[in-house]
Amino acid sequence: MKSGESLTKYDVLKKYFGHDSFREAQEQLIDSILGGQDCLGVMPTGAGKSVCFQVPAVLMEGTAVVISPLISLMRDQVEALVQNGIRAAFINSTISEKEIAETVRRAANGEFDILYAAPERLSTARFAELVKVMKIPLVAVDEAHCVSHWGQDFRPSYLKIAEFVRSIPRRPVVAAFTATATERVKDDIVEILELNDPTVITTGFDRPNLYFEVRTPEDKNEELVKILGEAVDGSVIVYCATRKNVESVTDFLRRNGFRVGEYHAGFSAERRTRAQEDFLFDRVDIMVATNAFGMGIDKSNVRLVVHYNCPKDIESYYQEAGRAGRDGSPARCILLYGDEDKTLSEFMIKHSHRESGLSDKELRGLMKRDVVRLNNMLEYCKTRRCLRGYILSYFGQKASDYCGYCGNCTNGDEISDVTIEAQKILSCIFRLKQRELALPREGVISVLLGDSEGSEVKGLSTYGIMRGEDKSRIEKIAEHLFLEDYFEERGEHKVCVLTPKADDFVRTKKSIVMRFYSEKERFAGSKPAKKDKAESELFKQLKALRKQIAADLGVPPYVVFSDASLNSMCVILPTNLDEFLTVSGVGNIKAERYGRKFLEVIGKYLKTRTN
């Protein structure tokens, strides 16, 4: 607790962040830190990881150091913290040597509650000297998966964090946070960061406000224009796999009248910064970018994320798609899939990790891992099951096969019991094995239809047992059985091999139900709901005021108030400061700074509504 203060964690949450209660896992992790215990929090994007270290930083004596690889996030979070009345600063390559020197001086004098730093700064002589005089009660490591070779964004600079912590005269609490981590990555985080008997909390991965959908259009550009025509009240990110695609998609959208920015690693640092600020300050509506953009972008009003190409793994997809709806409001995540995406992803995997400094054996291990992850991603693109359920199951969380809010669950498709057909398909694979034969999926289907010319299969009891049935339907059922792990495809020729799940199916006589759909029907449920006209008018007025205040301050609009806060104002319609404090995201500091201006706009709106 800072000298002379008697605030509780609840006081800090309300006073500085404007919330009355903690979200799932936040309080447990905060208690761990305040109790002097190391911790690891695995929480999805938008779940409020930053609050877990920002609240303790306000309460603990000294200056908390937050290590983050995300230069854009540092600036965003520091601006937001300062607006909330919290003393914060950052040190990274975007500020001048003079600014760094001044920040170091103030940090040495204990003028900050929180100091953000890039991991590369930790080994500099200036930072080493600063550590000797700073009182550091907490080191928070954001994007902690970057410490592991097995994470999707390994960064060698993260390997120096443990050494930095050991250099601090009195060891601080170390708290690590990430949005996605497998068990192996979690183990690496604990070991490499040298966490002492940490509290480890993994929350559910579900983002219920996000709508997921996969489309397989003949023309991706035309489909993208169609999707963008449906987007309302917010910003859009369109992710492309290559720089070439970024440039061609950007050019296409601009020719079609959209306000578009573009971003990829081939641009100069100055141009990347300018593009990022255009997006943050709402000077463009759409950002077309490679995955070099967005990691750590804390923009709360992204309402749509479109993947123009299939990502290389579920971890990357969920992290990138999760940049939509960070404020908890409804948002859409749409993936445009084409057969060319697989070839492109395989090429990128083959040429990745070249400069990682790993041994040949480690490189082969990573390549094998990447291929497995890509196959899981491709299955997501093709699955007929609930998309949310597929993602949650991938991360080890039990999930229903119906969420009611994804492209596969809202298309009004035919749901059929395919138990008998499944029994025939799996029985055919089993009979082939009895004859010491194995065929790829198309070969198994040929046997079932009686189309196979091989004499060695014509004597099988399953030969021709599905003759006359719709081949396309059989192929869809076989695809479903494969994706649901009733059989595997092994070897160069991808021959079908039954799994224990198939044995369990036969033994227990369970039924199998699956969904059939047409591509036309599949896109039906993705249009966003429109706002009430009156509510929309007030929302526009509040946005205009927010934009004006943000421009005067030189900060992004969402730093003043998020869209969720503006929506809350439209619902509560506060008429005084006490009522204004009940708005989500409004704390004492912001109420004092901006409350009267927003109350004035709401008051005028209420007068016009009653006249």
Q: Tens of pLDDT along 260-300?
A: 999 988 888 888 888 888 998 889 999 999 987 865 566 88
SS (H, E, C) 541-609: HHHHHHHHHHHHHCCCHHHHCCHHHHHHHHHHCCCCHHHHCCCCCCCHHHHHHHHHHHHHHHHHHHHHH
For 364-418, give the DSSP string: HHHHHHHHHHHHHHHHHHH--S-HHHHHHHHTT----S--SSBTTTSS--EEEE-
Based on the fold, state whether residues 216 and 197 are members of the same structural domain: no
- Please give the pLDDT value at position 521: 43
Are 579 and 572 a contacting pair, CB within 8 Å?
A: yes
Are 477 and 421 a contacting pair, CB within 8 Å?
A: yes
Domain of residue 510, CATH code: 1.10.10.10
Instruction: Tell whether 74 is covered by a domain.
Output: yes
Based on the fold, state whether residues 80 and 132 are members of the same structural domain: yes
Instruction: Tell whether 399 is covered by a domain.
Output: no
Instruction: Tell whether 136 is covered by a domain.
Output: yes
For 335-360, give the DSSP string: EE--THHHHHHHHHHHTSSTTS---H
| DSSP code at position 529 | P
- Please give the pLDDT value at position 124: 87
Based on the fold, state whether residues 379 and 232 are members of the same structural domain: yes
Counting the structural domains of the chain, the total is 4
Last residue of a domain, one of 364, 394, 424: 394
Based on the fold, state whether residues 444 and 551 are members of the same structural domain: no
Instruction: Tell whether 425 is covered by a domain.
Output: yes
Give the pair of three-digit tokens for residue 476: 């869809």
- Please give the pLDDT value at position 27: 94
Domain of residue 37, CATH code: 3.40.50.300
The C-alpha atoms of residue 276 and residue 270 are separated, in whole angstroms, by 10
Give the pair of three-digit tokens for residue 25: 């896992």
Are 599 and 564 a contacting pair, CB within 8 Å?
A: no
Low-confidence ranges of the chain (pLDDT < 70): 1-5, 72, 151-152, 231-232, 294-298, 353-358, 412-415, 517-535, 610-611
Based on the fold, state whether residues 131 and 53 are members of the same structural domain: yes
Domain of residue 586, CATH code: 1.10.150.80
The C-alpha atoms of residue 396 and residue 342 are separated, in whole angstroms, by 25
Instruction: Tell whether 525 is covered by a domain.
Output: no
Residue length of the chain = 611
Q: Residue 516 class from Cβ within 10 Å (0-12 exposed, 13-18 middle, 19+ buried)?
A: middle
One-letter amino acid at 436 equals E
Last residue of a domain, one of 150, 172, 202: 202
Are 412 and 425 a contacting pair, CB within 8 Å?
A: no
Based on the fold, state whether residues 290 and 360 are members of the same structural domain: yes
Residue 547's alpha-carbon distances to 294, 323, 326, in angstroms, are 22, 21, 19
Based on the fold, state whether residues 539 and 494 are members of the same structural domain: no
Last residue of a domain, one of 182, 202, 222: 202
Instruction: Tell whether 401 is covered by a domain.
Output: no
3-state DSSP helix/strand/coil percent for the chain, to nearest 5? 50, 15, 40
Based on the fold, state whether residues 214 and 338 are members of the same structural domain: yes
Tens-place pLDDT, residues 546-568: 999 999 998 888 889 988 889 88
Burial 95-115 (b: 16+ CB within 10 A, else e): beeeebeebbeebeeeebbbb
Based on the fold, state whether residues 197 and 216 are members of the same structural domain: no
Based on the fold, state whether residues 565 and 426 are members of the same structural domain: no
- Please give the pLDDT value at position 447: 92
Instruction: Tell whether 541 is covered by a domain.
Output: yes
Taking only Cα atoms into account, the Rg of the chain, rounded to an integer number of angstroms, comes to: 27
Based on the fold, state whether residues 502 and 566 are members of the same structural domain: no
Instruction: Tell whether 593 is covered by a domain.
Output: yes
User: Could you tell me the strand order of the sheet in which 210-215 lies?
Assistant: 210-215, 331-336, 302-307, 235-239, 286-289, 260-263
Taking every pair of Cα atoms in the chain, the longest distance, rounded to a whole number of angstroms, is 90
Domain range spanning residue 481? 414-516
Based on the fold, state whether residues 96 and 143 are members of the same structural domain: yes
